[in-house]
Amino acid sequence: MAARILVVDDDPNVQRLLSYTLKQEGYEVLVAADGAEAVRRWSNEHPDLMLLDVMLPKFDGYEVATKIRAEEGTGKHTPIIMLTAEADVEQKVRGLRAGADDYQVKPFHAAELMARIRSLLARFAPQELMVGRHLLGQVHAYYGAKGGVGTTTIAINAAIALHRELGRKVILIDGNLQFGDHRVFLDLGLDRKSIVDIVIATSIDQELLRNVIVKHDSGVDLLLAPPSPETAELVSSEQHHMVQIIDQLRSMYDYILIDIDKRLDETNLDVISSADALFVVMTADLSCLKNVRLVLETMSQLAFESGKLQLVLNRSNAFTGINVKNAESALKRRIDHQIVNEYRGAISALNSGAPFMFTKADSLLGRSVLDFARAVDRGSKAPADALQFAHATS
C-alpha cells in the first residue's frame, strides 16, 4: 500500500510540482489549499505525512501544526515537514515548537525532500507502507502547436510502434474530449465505450477501466473520447478525473500516451502536470514557430521541467523555406525529434482507418516513427532530472 501524503500549499503551481514529484516516487497525494482544509483533510483522511506551507489562508502552518498535535494527543503521530521561504533560525524553531518534525526551505532540491520524506515515514509509518519508488508506467502527452501538424497521427502510430515493434504494453487515450478523432482514424464506431463511462461511475478503479478500455487490432488498448461534444463536460477538472484515470493506469501499462487538444484549460494542465514527458508536435512554418515559442514560455511560467518538454518536428523534409537550423535558432533550443514527410501515405492511412504502423510499418514513414519510438523508449529509462522549486510567494 502506498504512503499517503497531504500537500498543503495555496500556490497551485507548487501543488502541481509537489504532487507530480511525489506521484513519480509512488506516493498517493492529497491536496489542501488553506489551513482549515488541511486540518479537515487530516482528520477525515488520515495521511501518513504532511508537507505544510507556513503562509496559508485561514490558519497559517504554525496554527495547523499546533491544532493537529493537540488533537492527535498520544495517538498516531503524523509526521509534518514545514515548508517556508524563510531560512531564519527563529522561524525554524517556531515551526519545530508548533509540532513540525522537519523543516525545508524553498527553493529546494527534490532529492533532498524525498530523502527527508522517506526518513520520516521509516520512523513513523506502518511497515507495510511503500515508502520508496516502485515501477510505474510512463505518461506521455502529445500536444500540437497548431491544428493540422499531425499530432494525432504521431500519437497513434507511436503507440503502435511501442507495442508491436518494441514489445511494450501501451494504452492510447484520446484526450481531445470534445472533438476526438481516434474513432474515425481507427475505424471504430460510436457504440464503443468512452471516458464518460468511467467518470459517471461511483468510483474509478482498475476493474472499471478494464471494462471500458477498447482493444485495437494492433494490440494497443484505447480509451476513447466521448461520442458527442456535449458529454465531454462530464469529465471534470474540479474532481481531477483525468488525474484519477492516469494514476490507475500507471500500474497497468508501460506507457500511457495521451493525445490532448490545444486548449491549456484545467483538464489539460492536469494531464501535462501528470506527464513524464510532453511532446510538442510542430512543423517548420512561421505561425507554428510562433505558437511553439508561446508554449515554451507558458510551460516555463507553470514551472514544468524544461527537460521533459520535447519538440517533435513533423514533415521535417518538406520544403517550407525554414530548415531545422533556422527553426532551432528562432526557438533558441534544440529540436529533439524529426519525422519525415510522407503526406500521401499518412492521409491514405487516416482515411482508411488503418494506421501505417499497423499496415505499412516498413514504409519510409513507418521507419521514421519507429526511430522516434526507439528514442522515446531509451529516454524513458533515464532517471528524472533534479527538480528545483521556484521561489515561492510565501
Residue type, 256: I
The CATH number of residue 111's host domain is 3.40.50.2300
Clarify whether residues 197 and 314 are in a common domain.
yes
What is the reported pTM?
0.65
Clarify whether residues 149 and 95 are in a common domain.
no
170-175 and 138-144 beta bridge pairing: unpaired
Clarify whether residues 79 and 189 are in a common domain.
no
User: Can you give the pLDDT at residue 85?
Assistant: 81
pLDDT per residue as tens digits for the range 200-223: 998 888 999 999 999 999 999 999
pLDDT per residue as tens digits for the range 320-362: 889 999 999 999 999 999 999 887 778 788 778 889 999 888 8
User: Can you give the pLDDT at residue 127?
Assistant: 56
The residue range of the domain holding 62 is 4-124
| pLDDT cut 90: percent of the chain above it | 57
**Rounded mean pLDDT, 125-154:** 79
Cell of 55: 503562509
Residue type, 356: F
Clarify whether residues 371 and 294 are in a common domain.
yes
Mean pLDDT, the chain, integer: 87
**Cβ atoms of residues 312 and 143 within 8 Å:** no
Q: How confident is the model at residue 384 (pLDDT cuts 50, 70, 90)?
A: very low
Clarify whether residues 99 and 26 are in a common domain.
yes
d(CA 194, CA 65): 43
User: Can you give the pLDDT at residue 95?
Assistant: 85
Cell of 381: 529509462
Last residue of a domain, one of 67, 102, 124: 124
Clarify whether residues 103 and 147 are in a common domain.
no
Q: In this predicted structure, which of 25-34, 100-109, 310-319 has the lowest mean pLDDT?
A: 100-109
Distance, CA of 359 to chain centre: 31
Clarify whether residues 72 and 13 are in a common domain.
yes
Sheet holding 4-8, edge to edge: 28-32, 4-8, 49-53, 80-84, 102-105
User: Can you give the pLDDT at residue 284?
Assistant: 93
User: Any idea which residue has 488520515 for its cell?
Assistant: 46
Clarify whether residues 119 and 153 are in a common domain.
no
Clarify whether residues 80 and 160 are in a common domain.
no
Most confident of 10-19, 129-138, 276-285: 276-285
**Cβ atoms of residues 289 and 322 within 8 Å:** yes
**Cβ atoms of residues 231 and 252 within 8 Å:** no
Cell of 267: 483538464
On the 0-12 / 13-18 / 19+ scale of CB atoms within 10 A, 77 is: middle
Distance, CA of 36 to chain centre: 28
Return the bridge partners of 102, or none: 81
The CATH number of residue 315's host domain is 3.40.50.300
d(CA 142, CA 261): 9
User: Can you give the pLDDT at residue 78?
Assistant: 94
Res 278 pLDDT > 80: yes
d(CA 175, CA 279): 14
Say how many domains are in the chain: 2
pLDDT per residue as tens digits for the range 174-187: 999 999 999 999 99
pLDDT per residue as tens digits for the range 128-139: 555 554 457 899
pLDDT per residue as tens digits for the range 51-84: 999 999 998 999 999 999 999 877 789 999 999 8
